Amino acid sequence: MCDDYKKITGTLYGLGVGPGDPGLVTVRAKEILDTVDTIFVPKAKDDGRSCARSIAEAAVSKPKNFIELIFPMTKDRKKLESYWLSAARRIARELKRERQAAFVTIGDPFIYSTYIYLLETLRKNFPNIELKTIPGISAFNAAAASGGLPLVKGDERMAILPVTKDLKGLRKALKEFDTVVLMKVGSKLGIIIRLLKEMKLIKNSVLVSHAGQAGEKIIRDISSLKDKKSGYLSVIIVKRKMDNKI
């Protein structure tokens, strides 16, 4: 990359826009969305919809220049790095003209977000760009509120884990923590239901899908779920001891 590129300045705001309901976008995030002209949005596929874009569009007061950046769903690190770098370059080009822009992400930007990799790539390749991260309401906060499930009280401890096919670390966390938040459930719903049954935690588990969105579902009897798609955009909260319903 030429040195001129490295000298690009400007500010990128990494905004969390919450789980879906525009009412759950923070005042600070909305102020920034209304101030900047360009809003970058992450997308997994060319022909897909960006959830973060829909939330930002509903939150802004006037039309904005939305630029979609593709981040494919792959575990191929080399491929991902090339997408992070081209996204970082695209942002740098825009900042050269506009001085400031936003990158939006669902939930909170520092929880399992592509933004984290983008931030690292920008820091490394464009050290003069100022990066400001604005927190958002995470999906698990919205899921807990909708499900009436306090996350932790007193000296209780909580773990947040992604569901992986090999269930890495899940059994241990479910034994050790008072509350376990399972994210990235997706197509792994069947295997996690089997584990929760085996550990006699199924009755202490609540699945919330599309939390804070129009199609929100709160499922308290998750063993009844047959449809593989039920895991899509879902969080499962598992409590070691179930409190009385709130």
CA atoms within 13 A of residue 118's CA, in its CB half-sphere: 32
Give the residue, chosen from 122, 210, 225, 237, that forms a contact with ligand SAM under the rule CB under 6 A.
210
Instruction: Look up residue 53 and give its amino acid.
Output: R
C-beta closer to ligand SAM: residue 91 or 233: 233
Q: Is 53 in the site for ligand SAM (CB under 6 A)?
A: no
* Binding pattern for the stretch 177-206 against ligand SAM, x by CB under 6 A and - elsewhere: ------xxxx--------------------
Across 16-39, b (16+ Cβ under 10 Å) vs e yields: bbbbbbbebbbeebbebbeebebb
Q: Is 233 in the site for ligand SAM (CB under 6 A)?
A: yes
Q: Which stretch, 30-38, 82-90, 106-114, 220-228, contacts ligand SAM (CB under 6 A)? A: 106-114
Sites for ligand SAM among residues 1-20 (CB under 6 A): 19-20
43 three-class SS = strand
Give the residue, chosen from 143, 173, 174, 237, that forms a contact with ligand SAM under the rule CB under 6 A.
143
Q: Is 118 in the site for ligand SAM (CB under 6 A)?
A: no
H helices then E strands: how many in the chain?
Answer: 8, 10
Q: Are 173 and 180 in contact (CB under 8 A)?
A: yes
| Strand-strand pairing, 217-219 and 205-209 | antiparallel
Q: Is 107 in the site for ligand SAM (CB under 6 A)?
A: yes
In the complex, least distance from residue 109 CB atom to ligand SAM, rounded to whole angstroms: 7
DSSP 197-210: HHTT-GGGEEEEES
In the complex, least distance from residue 96 CB atom to ligand SAM, rounded to whole angstroms: 28
Q: Is 108 in the site for ligand SAM (CB under 6 A)?
A: yes
